Structure 1
Amino acid sequence: MKDSSPTRLAAYCARLGLDAPPPPTPDGLALLQRAHRQAITFENIDVLLCRPILIDSQAVFAKLVERGRGGYCFEQNRLYADMLADIGIATRPLLARPRLALPEGFTGPRTHVLLLAELEGRLWLADAGFGGSFVPPLPLEDGAEEATPDGARHRLRYLGEPQGEWLIERAGQRETTDGRALEHGDWQAQYSFDLAHVEQMDLEQANHWTATWPASRFLAGPIVSRVLPAGFVALTGTTLTIGRKGVGERRDLGTGEEWRIAMAEMFGIRLSEDEVAGLALFPR
């Protein structure tokens, strides 16, 4: 059960570096989403350490706000939905199929969750949990487009029936992504979704599969990212990349201690030496 006390909302805003909650408006939604992505790291470390990924409101608040950790989409957007509700923005979850860097025509499972928000009589997409790049809020309208400070643009397209599917696309520089994107100045698919009703047990099932399926991307190695004011920083395996509007820096981390320091300094995630050793990134 979610506790909607003002204390929790104040703690969340403090975690995001905000003095007060933004108003329940489109501008307020954009401000909150960007602050969330800059403050709370996308990461899968607990998946790799075989810890259970709990996605109830109490568990994600304790992990992402009180303990200062990050998480992946099922955690991030659970927290985001709860905090949006507390500022007066109603949402419901949608399940999506990631399409980034997948072959044309390949249909993967619904392993991403985003939110559908209602604001001032219009429907909006809200997503604080996509790790590949920064996706801004978009109105649920065919052709809706929004630019972001990293120089990229995102666009929403309605693909039509029979499923009533929608597609999020990105056009921008590869440097301000987590590295999965191909070199693309033109539009590239990010994920697709429909508006079907999603129950909590649907999310539990998708979360469990994503965290435990042997071939899951999230079991292949660390996937860590955070939005910068005008760019993106990502740590994939042992490779750290920092991108700001076309200027990219790439560095391979050579030791567990170097990796642990990068996690703390670049992502605000403080891990013990034993936790880093448990990831088996470097020969001992």
Structure 2
Amino acid sequence: MDLTRYLARIGLTAAPANDPQGLAALQSAHRRAIGFENLAIPLGEGIRIDSASVFEKLVARGRGGYCFEQNRLFSDALTALGLVNRPLLARVLLGLPEHAIPPRTHTLLLVNMDGAAWIADAGFGGSFVPPLPLEDGAQAQTPDGAWHRLLRSGERGALGGEWRLERAGPANATDGRSAPHGEWQPQYVFDLGEVVQDDLEMGNHWTSTRPDTRFTTLCIASVVLEDGFAAMTDRQLSIYRNGVSETREISDAADYAQTLRDLMGIALSGEDAARLPLFA
């Protein structure tokens, strides 16, 4: 981890303090600067989640990534700043039927600050998830107007997870999978079981290769805005700012690459954009 280059990539000249406010500031800067995307999959590049590969892609090359990449980079940054953390695995419930039990295809971080446990997530592409203390009923609000809360949901190791993250807020400040009402909706469930690198490698392999899934059939990108959220699914772009929504269709590969660069901080060349199935 080259901390100076990482901080420059996310637009910070100095590291925030190692406290809850500093953690929130660091994660917010990361989410606003490094867009979420799965484009390595349709481009046939493959996705590597070791520290060196992730740093080279997301920092040196200016690309984005999905949760296994984003939270690898964020974890390495937290470690460099002296914050003890470890990965967790979650089942994403967003947009699924009530009793569905999906695989553990999302990773987040458990962070220790002065003996207190927090969750941090720089890689959830569906919406902006703020850091939260690992406490039943903990809540936080994000600049898009949404509330987020943690609830105990079961015993450790249970299929339903020990903890459940929920969100209540404008559906337009998500990637489109949220229900239209603004009431509490489940985002994902997780437990505190130990997760090693091979567990992450298995989840990453399934997520990036399993046929007929969201990540292997669609081109996805999103980013947190200072006052909202922007998401692109294939050629449909939606932007939510200050309570106002707008949508438009991406016209061609050049428009796609420029939108990624200007709006989401993702450096994809026009030539690579033209190779996407959307424009083949």
Instruction: Give the corresponding residue for 2:18.
Output: 24
Matched, 1:137 2:131: yes
TM-score, normalization by structure 2: 0.96
* In 2: Cα distance, 1:205 partner to 1:55 partner: 11
Instruction: Give the corresponding residue for 1:85.
Output: 79
CA contact 1:175–1:244 (8 Å) conserved in 2: no
Deviation at 1:269, TM superposition (A): 2.3
CA contact 2:61–2:267 (8 Å) conserved in 1: no
* In 1: Cα distance, 2:151 partner to 2:242 partner: 25
- 1:14 is matched by which residue type in structure 2? A
Instruction: Give the corresponding residue for 1:115.
Output: 109
Instruction: Give the corresponding residue for 2:267.
Output: 270
Aligned-CA RMSD value: 1.2
Instruction: Give the corresponding residue for 1:160.
Output: 154
SS in 2 for 1:184: coil
SS in 2 for 1:197: coil
CA contact 1:41–1:267 (8 Å) conserved in 2: yes
Instruction: Give the corresponding residue for 2:37.
Output: 43
Partner residue of 2:56 out of 59, 62, 67: 62
SS in 2 for 1:91: strand
Q: How does 1:5-20 map to 2 (within 5 A)?
A: 8-20=2-14
- What is the identity percentage for the equivalent residue pairs of Structure 1 and Structure 2? 55
Partner residue of 1:105 out of 84, 91, 99: 99
SS in 1 for 2:195: coil
* In 2: Cα distance, 1:256 partner to 1:273 partner: 6
Note the residue ranges of structure 2 that are not aligned, 5 or more in a row.
Answer: none
Instruction: Give the corresponding residue for 1:225.
Output: 222
Q: Structure 1 residue runs of 4+, over 4 Å off?
A: none
Give CA deviations for 1:19-62 in whole Å, capped at 9, x if unaligned: 11111111110000000000001001101111121101111011
Instruction: Give the corresponding residue for 1:205.
Output: 202
SS in 2 for 1:19: coil
Task: Name which of structure 1's ranges 14-23 and 125-134 shifts more when overlaid on structure 2.
Answer: 14-23
Give CA deviations for 1:54-74 in whole Å, capped at 9, x if unaligned: 101111011111111110000
- 1:73 is matched by which residue type in structure 2? C
Deviation at 1:200, TM superposition (A): 0.6
CA contact 1:24–1:87 (8 Å) conserved in 2: yes
- 2:265 is matched by which residue type in structure 1? G
